[in-house]
Every structure is written in C-alpha cells, then in structure tokens.
Amino acid sequence: MENNKKEYMLCGVLAIIVIIMSILSPDRFLSLYNLQTMAFQLPEFGIIALGMMIVILTGGINLSITSGSALAGIMAAFILSGRVMVGASIGMSIALAIGVILVTSVLLGLLNGFVVAYIGVTPILVTLGSKTLYEGISMWLTKGGAISNFPEAYYWFGNESIIGIPVPMIIFIIIALITYVLLEKTPWGTRVYMVGSNPTAAVFSGINIKRVLMQVYVYSALMAGLAGVIMLSRYNSAKVDLGSSYLLQSVAAVVLGGTNIAGGSGKVFGTVIAVAILQVISSGLNILGVNRFIIDMITGAILIAVLTLNIISNRRESRRKSDETVLVAENRG
Amino acid sequence: MAEERFLQMEDLSKTYPGVKALDKINMEIRAGEVHALVGENGAGKSTLIKILAGAEIPDPGGRILIDGEPVSFAHPLEALRRRIAVTYQDLSLFPNLSVVENITISRKIEEGARHIDWREMRSTAQDALAKLDLDIDLTTRLSDLSLANQQLVAIARALVHDARLLILDEPTSSLSAEEVNALFRVISTLKAQGMSILFISHKLDEVFAISDRITVLRDGQHVGTYLREELDEEKLISLMVGRKIRFMQYEKRSVGKPLLEVKHLHKKGNFADISFTLHQGEILGLTGLVGAGRTEVAQAIFGRIIPDSGQIYLRGKEMKITSTTQAVQAGIAYIPESRQTQGLFLGKTLADNLSVTRLDSLANQFGIIRIDLLKDYVGKWIQRLSIRPPYPKMLIDQFSGGNQQKAILAKWLAYEPTVLIVDEPTNGIDVGAKSEIHQLLRELADQGIGIIMISSELPEVLAVCDRILVMRRGRVAAEFPKDDATQEKIMNAAILGGDARQDVS
Amino acid sequence: MKQLLRSKEAGILLIIVLLSLLITLKNPVFLTSSNLLDILKNNTVPGIVAMGMLLVIITGGIDVSVGAMTAAVTVIIGKYMVHAGGNLLTVFLLGCGSGAILGAINGFFVAKLDIPPIVVTLGTMSIINGGMLYYTGGSWITNIPKWFIDFGRIKLLGIPVQILFLVGAAVLTHWVLRYTLIGRGVFAVGGNPIAAVRAGFHKDKILLFLYSYLGFMVGLAAVVHTSIMRQVDPNAFFSFEMTVIAAVVLGGANVLGGEGSVFGTILGVMMLAVIQNGLILAWIPTYWQQIVVGAIILLAVSLDVMQNRRRQDQLTRIDVAGEAPFGG
C-alpha cells in the first residue's frame, strides 16, 4: 500500500534535529534572529530542490539547474544594474528583469528538454554539457566579475517581510503549493510519475512522453529562474557561481525526501521537509561554529547514507521484483 | 547408446514469491544422449535450465549430482567448471565485441586466465567455428552478424568449453531449414563424441528428429521421461497439455464492415508484404512461431515501428501514424507482450494503473483530478473485470498475473478503442483467468470493437478467434477461417509455410 | 562497427588538423615544436585521468568526483613532502595509493550497493572537497622540496618527463583494456551486463577494480600536476571533472556503455587542448572555451545518439523469408 510513512518519519527526524540543536545552543539556535535567517535562506534552496525533484521523478537529473539560475540571474542583473535599458523607471526595470529571468529560464529548459526528450541523450550528459555551456556564457557576460548595485526596491523580494513572514518564504510556499497541486493533483503530474515509473509502459499507454519530458525540463529551469530572482535580491549581485552550492544539496534533499532516484515516486511534501532538515543542520552547525567545509562533508555523507539505507531496506523488495522478472522470462520461454 | 548416468536431479524445486516454478523434479541425463525438454509456456523449462547453469539457486532440499557426486552452483562459472554450457534463448552475447571474443571469453574466465592471448583465442574460435562448418570473419563485430549467425556463435562458445552437457534453449528459433539441418549434424557429431545435449524446443518435429529421450514438464512438475520410440506427436501433445480445462469454444459471429485494412506493409528486417483486413466485431488471430514477426506487425500498426512502405486504412481513411500517441488518438490500443516491462507501472497502485489512459476525463474544469470521479471510475472497472483483491490503493506488483493483465485490459476498455491489439494476452496466467480474459475479448468484439489477438497458444486461438492468420519468417503464410482451422494445419503453416501463400526463399 | 569507430576517430583527427591549420593561419606560433610540447605537457593531467575515466564510461558509469580526488591527492603529497620529506618513490606510492583508495570507496558504493554512480560521486565529491578545504583552509602549499621540482624539470630527448607519464598511462590502459581479462570484462559489462555475469564475469569485482584504477590514475595525475606547478592549490581542480568527461566523450566513448578506446580518448584530450591553446593564441578570452566545449559536448553526443537510433531502426529483427541475405 502506498502511504505517507516516509513523510511522517521525516517530520520526526526534523523535530529531533530541531530539539538537539535547541539543546546544544538554546540561546542562539532558537533566537528570533536565527529563525528569521533560516526563513530567508531556505526558500531559494527549496525552490531549486523542487526543480531538481521534478526531473528526478522522470528518472533524470538536472546538473545545469544552478548554472541556469546564475545565467538567468546575470541577464536580469544587467537590467537591474542599469547597464542596459538605461533610463527605464525602477518599476519598469524590475518588471523587465523578472520577465528576462523567466524567458531565459524557459529557453534554457527548452534546450535541455529538446536534447533529452527528442534526441534521446541521457540527462546526465545533456545537463553536464549545458552546465558547461551556461557557465561559459555567464563568464562571457560578466567577464568573471560580479554585477551588482540593483535598485533598492528590488531588495523587497529577498529581504522584506509581510506581517512577519519573509517575502521569499511566501514565494516558496506559493511555488511549493503550485508544484504540489500540479504533480499530485492533475493528470499532467500523474503522467510525470508514470513516465518515471516505466517509460515503455507510458509509451504503450499513449502518453506523449517526449512532450512530458520537455515540459518537465522547462518547469525545472523555471524553478531555477525563480530561485534566481530571490538570490539576486538577497546577495544584491550576480556572478557565475550564483547558487552553485545548491546543486549537490538539492539532489541530497530530493533523495532524502524520499524521491526514488530511478524515478516514478516521491512527494513534494517530502522534499520540502528534507530541505528544512538540511537547512536546520547547516544553520545549526554554523551557529555551533562548525566549519563550512565540514558542513559540506556532512551533506555529502547524508546523501550517500540515505541512499545506502534506502537500498539496503529495498533490497528484499527489489529482489522479489527481479524474481518476478525472471518469472516473466520463464513464462515467455 | 551409453547408459551411463551422468547428471541427476533429485527433488529439485524453485519457488518464487507466490509461484512454484519447479516442484520436486527428478530426472537424469545420461552421457552421450540428446535429451529433449518440452512443455508449454510457463512449464518450468527455463527455470530448470537456469538452475543447471548456475544462474538460479534451487530451493533447499533438492540436489544435483554429477557422476554421483552432489554439486551446487552459486555462480554460472561453477557450472562451467563442471562442463555444463548453455546457449540461452536470448543468446547472452556481447553485441559490442568481436566474434572471437564472444566465442572464447567465457572459456578464458573459466580457465582463470588473466591475460588475453589473441592469437590463441583466434585459433580456438576458428576450431569451434570449423566444427560447426561455419565461415565467419572472426574480427566481425557481433552486432553486424545476422541473428542466425549470432545463434551459431553462441553454440560455438559452448563448444570451446569442452562441455559434457550442452544445453540448447530454443536454438532453432531464428534458423532456416538448412541451418537447422547443419545444427543437427553438429549435434550428432557432438553426441558421438560422448557429449550430452539438453535440447529445449517447442517445435515437436525437431524434437522427434533429434532426441533420444524426451522429458515433459507441465506446470513445474515432471510428467515423465520417455524414449522417443514410445511417443508420437499426438501423445506428446496430450502429455504437455495434460488434463487441462478445454477453453470455452465461441461460435463464429457475423462480422461488420471492414475496420482496419493493412496493405502491403513492409519493413526491412521485420516483415514483408503484410496485407489483411480486420472487420468490426471480429477477433483476428495472429499466430506463428515466436520470432515470426507478429509483434513487429502489431507495433507497426500502433506507430511504434515505422514501416518502409505500405498503407494502413482505418474505416477507409488512410492513416499516417508516426507515434504511439497518434495511434491512441486514432482509437488504436495495443497491449504489449511483456506485462512487467512494457505493460505495468510497477511501484504504482492499481488505481494509477487503471486510470492512466483516462486521466483527463477525471479532472474538473480547473484541471484538478476529482477524487470522487477517480474513485467511481476505479471502482467501476475493478468490479466490471472482477479484479481481485479489489483494493485500488494496493501496489500493482502485489496482484497475480491474471489480475495484472485484467488491469491493463481495463485501462484500454475504459478508453473505448476502435481497434484493440492484444499481444499474448494470457501469457503466464492461470487457466481461470485465461477464460475470463477470453470472455472479455468476446464481449468487446460483440460491442463492435475489432480485435487482433497475437498468441502462440493454439487452443486459445482456435477457441476465441473468428479468423486466423499464420505468420512465418516475416510474412503471412496462411489464412484460415474459424471453421477450417485445426492445430495441425496451423502448425504446418507456421513451420513449413502454407500452401495458400508460397514461401519465396 | 570497428570501421565506424575508426572513422569516428578519424573524424576527430580531421577536426584537430583543421583547427590546427586555422589557428596556425591566425598565429604561426602554434605550429612550433615548443608550443606543441607545451600543449602536451599542460594536458598530461586531464589526459592521465581521462585514461581511468574511459574505463568507467565504457561500463556506462560516470565519476564526477575526480576533480575533488585530484585536489585531495595533491594536498596529501604536498603536505607529505613539506613535512616528512620522503623521496620520489614514496611520493608516487603515496599519491597513487591514496588515489586508488579514494577510487575504491566510490567503487564500493557503486559495485556492492548498486547506488547510481552519479549520486555516489556527487556525494564523495562533496565529502572529499569539504574535508580537503577544511584541512588546508584553502591555502596554498608552496615550499615544495627542490628535489621534486628538479624531477619536474627532467627532459628525455627534449621531451618533458610529464609527457612520458601520459604515454605510460595510455600504454598501460591500452594494455589493460586489450590484453587482460578484466579489461575485456569492462567491455563485456558495458555491452551486456546480464550476459557478462552469465559468462562468468564478476561484475562487482570489475566495477570495484575500475573505480580503483581511475583513483590510481588520479593519484598519478596529482603527482604529475604538482611536478608541473611546483605548488599545491586546493582550488585548482574546480570543474576539472567536466574537462575529463568531455575529453572521453569527445573521444568517441559511448556513455551508455560498451564503446571507447584509448586512442580516441587521447584525441579527445588533444582536441580540447588545441581549442584552449588556439583561443589563447588568437587572443580570444578563455571563457569562450567553456562555451565551445559545452556546445561541442551537446552536439557530439546528440549526433552519436541519432546515429545509433538510425542503426537501431535498421536492425534486423526477423529473418524475413525472401529478403536479400544480410550481415555475415
């Protein structure tokens, strides 16, 4: 039976980690300042993780996701910093910048989606290639430097709060809800899961898997772009490695959140909780004075440990499945 | 004939979750005999082979003895060391490697070699090919060879192991008559040298032509082992089929207007000059040996294989289908042969598997799937096809083969197709479920759907179909109306080619 | 197919020659022996690692942790030489040994636990990088002993010693792939994993071996790198894995497994080297290299896949009666 056991377990893990952190550092971890910092940091990571998740659901991976954020962000930064479109009003240039981010993201997603879906190249290679390509273009645009000095009004997206809730958090909540509804409540989302579960059966069920894959990569790139909107505002600058640390972390969050790395299953809620877990761990350790590099190591170790546990616990089940496959072969012979 | 006992199996069983594939098999293979292993699909032949080859481990309690000494194989290598070599039906060769390596590599592993001596390997391979009277360039990449030659390479590989027991799993399925004769000459030579051969085939004429003794398996059980002289084809078939329930025989119905017309469909390396008409309310059987091109024709109609030439008309209108999505939109449904790899979404629920073709109709005006509609829909189809157990949220993996197949059928029935193609729809499911599926197909035909039923199981074809096409080597070899068809006539056409349409080769 | 592979390599060679001509027209310095030797020397490091990566890619795997591993080994041998002294032999042993151990860790997770290689190596990349940067704090190791620097200056018949190591790695890898059973096992696993097990190969041992072999090459490359740079920069290998994977893929290896050659991989390395050098000589900013490489990867693999699909489509499934004989 399908159930939400994984998600409850993750909530439990999150609660335990929060308690441990609170005990280890009661005055600082539970301080309003830290909670707010986390609430401002988490959304960009969370949005990227959702973009990674939808690709992993189809059995792929998007290694170009953060490079896409950076490239779209850099394009927008040119407008925000007034380097192009000089003389546009502030409101105008902000609207335009966001428009540019979204359009650029869609184009980048179309490129990945086209090569994966219509040409049929493995996603790892496609996105490694496009990662290199995007980084090259970003480097070319920025000449290796950072683009900064955005209009003050743009700070709003990443740094302001509405009735005490950070704006980026609101954006994240809205996006997570939309993704949840799209994936888990619509025919389209069901098809995404089906393509990931068994692409051949999906083809034989009349699903246009090329179109579904194409849309998935566009959605993923769109998430990267929206994360870019927040990151630009929070860092007040754009450069080639904008958000690059989220690449690995997003894969870790998706896997930790219970999404099958081979595709076919995974819940938006699981990914969101996993993002929170990783965020609490890294913020908490940071407050405890643990070195940033050690936190990187821990993230990598969590990724491998979670998969190892998953695989060991799934071994029995998968062994059963492979036996059934043997049986099918038997029946055909 | 040598009477020396060479290999014995005692109480050999193999259980997969929910299925007993082999049930206490006791049989022996003598030195220097050709021993045929026959049985219907799912009788347990492949499982037995895999156990002998070390690819599957039998249930505890059973034993294998070689020269009276108990052996157990945990890895294929251990079977090879005991001089048991197999050519699998899927050949198990390396498409990216040369002929030399495909023939000799497993020998090298068995010898525990660390280095590759290409010159020695070439001469070993050359010798093996010479034994088979075969002239293939040793440096050719395997994937550049014809299937027949690949088959012979697989046999050559078994030869270099100095096998005492050579297991041939359906070795003739892609060979021409001359090639089969050549293979039989080789088998005779090997036998004269004292090698035992376990020969698996569903072509009974071949079984009688080559074997000394015949073992019959049925539903995982050992029915008996007989001298060839003790049996004739009729007797053998009755042993294979046993006291099985005869399928309910359906009357031939009057059929409607032409629905699907296929004209001179051709795809190089798949099929040639395929023409037939499917009528409204008709079940058209498409039969022939495995590898005759039936599935390929079906997939061409379904847009999965793009034919080189020829036309397909649906209700008199020509269709140019280049994708399965287009085929489905045109009202053509196809239920593929392999349930597990092509039909089911494993790891997903029964409800998911049932609703995949009708998702859009279950959503409200905002595009959100309505849980109430979904529930009604799934409940309706579970009930209509009496899928057991009736739990929509149970993973499809946990259902029996018959119920899985019903789920696949249901998702297409819900789609209300014009033409339904079913490829081996009752493969590997129990008799009761088979009858239910036959009944369903008949009901659908009565509603006016045109059905093409691909099946190797002749009693089933004869029971259910209104008309039967027999394919052989990529062509339609014969056509029989229901009243005129018998198992013998169909087998004749499938093996030798029909009198209706002459074989050109 | 062998001919096709050959023609694939011939195609790469042709592109390299054309590029070289173009660059020479723009800047004749390119075609001087000192520049060519320089190019070779500066690409020995990705070249050596690509030899190991080739094996991984032939089995259909991938390793994105090679950048982190190479950096880690340079730090290990750098610290060792600075603090313990040692000699050439111990440096090589330590470098190759620690590399092989790091590789074996990847191999363990891939072979024994069946975790997809991309995820395993993403994880180890993060762990190794984090550990190394924590340990060094990102600071350079500069006081490399003179005897090691002298070693890096050795030339035999005018050829820098580093190039000889690349040649050695290439010859060794070719030998492993062509003349050892485990090397053929690499191709067998890449071509048909089920058949490989049935033929008696131990798939997990092969996987463990080749990830360790890649680690060994990483170690060797780290020593060679240090002998060229004469210092250790923990951040020098940022996105190095991309270069290596690109070289192997451009060299004609099929990421779905089963195909690849040492000669092709060397050509892939050379192609990237010529592009990089050409851009420098033509005074085109180096970030263009990334754009060009990214575009080439996308194009090359796309063409490869399309070609494969055409072959697949024309594949003979059924020996159709009356159809002209084929194959053989």
Asked if residue A322 has pLDDT above 50, the reply is no
Phi, psi of A149 (to 5 degrees): 65, 70
Residue B336 covered by a domain: no
Is residue C95 within 8 Å of C223, Cβ to Cβ?
yes
Q: Is B40 helix (H, G, I), strand (E, B) or coil?
A: coil
Query: Residue B219 is inside which H or E element, if any?
Result: none
Beta-sheet pairing, B332-335 with B419-423: parallel
Instruction: Kindly indicate the confidence band of residue C48, based on its pLDDT and cuts at 50, 70 and 90.
Output: very high
**C303 in contact with A, Cβ within 8 Å:** no
Asked if residue A111 has pLDDT above 90, the reply is yes
Is residue A234 within 8 Å of A172, Cβ to Cβ?
no
- Note the pLDDT of residue A302: 87
pLDDT in tens, chain B (505 residues): 445 678 889 998 888 765 678 888 899 999 889 999 988 766 788 889 889 988 888 888 888 999 888 988 888 888 888 889 888 877 789 989 999 999 999 888 888 888 889 999 999 999 988 877 778 889 988 888 877 788 888 888 888 888 889 999 888 766 767 778 878 888 888 888 888 999 988 777 788 989 999 999 888 889 899 999 998 877 887 787 765 556 777 777 777 889 999 999 999 888 999 999 999 999 999 998 777 889 999 999 999 889 999 999 999 899 888 889 999 999 999 999 888 888 999 989 999 999 999 999 999 988 999 999 999 999 999 999 888 889 999 999 888 888 899 999 999 999 889 999 999 888 767 767 888 899 889 988 988 899 999 988 788 888 899 999 999 888 999 999 988 888 778 878 887 775 544 333 3
Say yes or no: B320 and B362 in one domain. Answer: no
Cβ contacts of C124 on chain A, cutoff 8 Å: 300, 304
Burial of B459 from C-beta contacts in 10 A (0-12 / 13-18 / 19+): middle
Asked if residue C91 has pLDDT above 90, the reply is yes
Asked if residue C136 has pLDDT above 50, the reply is yes
Q: How do residues A213-225 score in pLDDT, each as one tens digit?
A: 999 999 999 999 9
In this prediction, residues C76-87 reach a mean pLDDT of 92
Task: For residue C126, give the CATH number of its domain.
Answer: 1.10.3470
d(CA C102, CA C111) in angstroms, rounded, equals 14
Name beta bridge partners: B221.
B218
In this prediction, residues C208-219 reach a mean pLDDT of 97
Minimal Cβ distance to B116: which of C179, C190, C202: C179
Residue B338 covered by a domain: no
Name beta bridge partners: A147.
A238
Q: Is B273 helix (H, G, I), strand (E, B) or coil?
A: strand
- For chain B, the chains sharing at least 3 beta-carbon pairs closer than 8 angstroms are A, C
Q: How do residues C263-292 score in pLDDT, each as one tens digit?
A: 999 999 999 899 888 888 878 787 787 888
d(CA A224, CA A245) in angstroms, rounded, equals 13
Contacts of residue C149, defined as CB under 8 A and 6 or more positions apart, other chains included, come to C227, C230
Residue C282 covered by a domain: yes
- Note the pLDDT of residue B92: 85
Contacts of residue B337, defined as CB under 8 A and 6 or more positions apart, other chains included, come to A332, B295, B423, B424, B427, B454
Structure tokens at B289: 């040996």
Of C109, C61, C120, the residue nearest C245 (C-alpha): C61
Instruction: Kindly indicate the confidence band of residue A277, based on its pLDDT and cuts at 50, 70 and 90.
Output: very high
Lowest mean pLDDT among A51-55, A232-236, C293-297: C293-297
Is residue B328 within 8 Å of B339, Cβ to Cβ?
no
Residue C203: domain span = 11-308
Which chain A residue shows the shortest CA-CA distance from C110?
A: A308
Tell me if the bond preceding C285 is cis, omega within 30° of 0: no
| Nearest chain C Cα distance for residue B174, angstroms | 7
Cβ contacts of C118 on chain A, cutoff 8 Å: 61, 124
**C218 in contact with A, Cβ within 8 Å:** no
Structure tokens at C65: 């942790």
Q: Where among B192, B217, B241 does a domain terminate?
A: B241
Say yes or no: B101 and B118 in one domain. Answer: yes
Asked if residue C3 has pLDDT above 60, the reply is no
Q: Where among B362, B391, B416 does a domain terminate?
A: B416
Lowest mean pLDDT among A47-51, A69-73, B223-227: B223-227
| Nearest chain C Cα distance for residue B117, angstroms | 7
User: For all residues of chain A together, what is the average pLDDT?
Assistant: 88
Which chain A residue shows the shortest CA-CA distance from C288?
A: A136
Q: Is A110 helix (H, G, I), strand (E, B) or coil?
A: helix
Cβ contacts of B335 on chain A, cutoff 8 Å: 204
ipTM of the complex: 0.84
d(CA C60, CA A118) in angstroms, rounded, equals 21
In chain B, how many domains are there? Answer: 3
Residue whose entry in the numeric block shows the structure tokens 């798949």: B270
Burial of B399 from C-beta contacts in 10 A (0-12 / 13-18 / 19+): buried
- For chain A, the chains sharing at least 3 beta-carbon pairs closer than 8 angstroms are B, C
Asked if residue A321 has pLDDT above 50, the reply is no
3-state helix vs strand vs coil in chain C, percent to 5: 75, 0, 20
Of A65, A118, A110, the residue nearest A218 (C-alpha): A110
- Rounded to a whole number of angstroms, the distance between the first and last alpha carbons of chain B is 38
Say yes or no: B140 and B61 in one domain. Answer: yes
Asked whether the beta carbons of residue B144 and residue C188 sit closer than 8 angstroms, the reply is no
Structure tokens at B411: 């998702």
Structure tokens at A81: 């910093």
Structure tokens at B281: 């309310």
Asked whether the beta carbons of residue B272 and residue C181 sit closer than 8 angstroms, the reply is no
Asked whether the beta carbons of residue B338 and residue A188 sit closer than 8 angstroms, the reply is no
Query: Residue B12 is inside which H or E element, if any?
Result: strand B5-16
Residue B266 covered by a domain: yes
d(CA B10, CA B59) in angstroms, rounded, equals 12
Residue B97: domain span = 5-241
Task: For residue B52, give the CATH number of its domain.
Answer: 3.40.50.300
Is residue A70 within 8 Å of A238, Cβ to Cβ?
yes
Asked if residue A31 has pLDDT above 80, the reply is yes
Lowest mean pLDDT among A118-132, A190-204, B136-150, B256-270: B136-150
Residue B337 covered by a domain: no
Contacts of residue A86, defined as CB under 8 A and 6 or more positions apart, other chains included, come to none
Asked if residue A326 has pLDDT above 60, the reply is no
- Higher pLDDT among residues A172 and C288, named by residue: A172
- Note the pLDDT of residue A106: 96
- Note the pLDDT of residue A127: 93
- Note the pLDDT of residue A320: 52
In this prediction, residues A178-200 reach a mean pLDDT of 96
Say yes or no: B47 and B148 in one domain. Answer: yes
Q: Where among B223, B241, B259 does a domain terminate?
A: B241
d(CA A36, CA A42) in angstroms, rounded, equals 10
d(CA A204, CA A187) in angstroms, rounded, equals 17
In chain C, how many domains are there? Answer: 1
Of C48, C121, C59, C113, the residue nearest C256 (C-alpha): C59
Say yes or no: B17 and B165 in one domain. Answer: yes
Instruction: Output b/e per residue, A192-201; b: 16+ Cβ within 10 A.
Output: bbbbbbbbeb
- Higher pLDDT among residues A86 and B38, named by residue: B38
Most confident of A206-210, B453-457, C319-323: A206-210
Name beta bridge partners: B471.
B288, B476
d(CA C304, CA C299) in angstroms, rounded, equals 9
- Note the pLDDT of residue A86: 65
Say yes or no: B384 and B318 in one domain. Answer: no
Structure tokens at B14: 């193999």
Say yes or no: B158 and B69 in one domain. Answer: yes
Q: Is A91 helix (H, G, I), strand (E, B) or coil?
A: helix
Query: Residue B480 is inside which H or E element, if any?
Result: strand B475-481
Say yes or no: B315 and B448 in one domain. Answer: yes
Question: Cα angle vertex A278, ends A276, A280, to 5°?
Answer: 65
**C116 in contact with A, Cβ within 8 Å:** yes
Is residue A49 within 8 Å of A175, Cβ to Cβ?
no
Contacts of residue B224, defined as CB under 8 A and 6 or more positions apart, other chains included, come to B215, B216, B239
Residue B29 covered by a domain: yes
Of B390, B387, B397, B442, the residue nearest B420 (C-alpha): B442
For residue C267, the tally of other CB atoms under 10 A from its CB is 23
- Note the pLDDT of residue B41: 66
Amino acid letter for position C157: L
3-state helix vs strand vs coil in chain A, percent to 5: 80, 0, 20
Asked whether the beta carbons of residue C125 and residue A300 sit closer than 8 angstroms, the reply is yes
Say yes or no: B270 and B391 in one domain. Answer: no
Asked if residue C162 has pLDDT above 60, the reply is yes
Minimal Cβ distance to C302: which of A119, A134, A143: A119
Asked whether the beta carbons of residue C179 and residue B115 sit closer than 8 angstroms, the reply is yes
Show the DSSP H helices in B132-253 as ranges. Answer: 147-159, 177-192, 204-210, 233-241
d(CA B91, CA B154) in angstroms, rounded, equals 6
Structure tokens at B502: 């002459």
Say yes or no: B163 and B270 in one domain. Answer: no
**A313 in contact with B, Cβ within 8 Å:** no
Cβ contacts of B115 on chain C, cutoff 8 Å: 179-181
Say yes or no: B422 and B295 in one domain. Answer: yes
Say yes or no: B433 and B408 in one domain. Answer: no
Of B440, B441, B447, B438, the residue nearest B418 (C-alpha): B447
Asked if residue A325 has pLDDT above 60, the reply is no
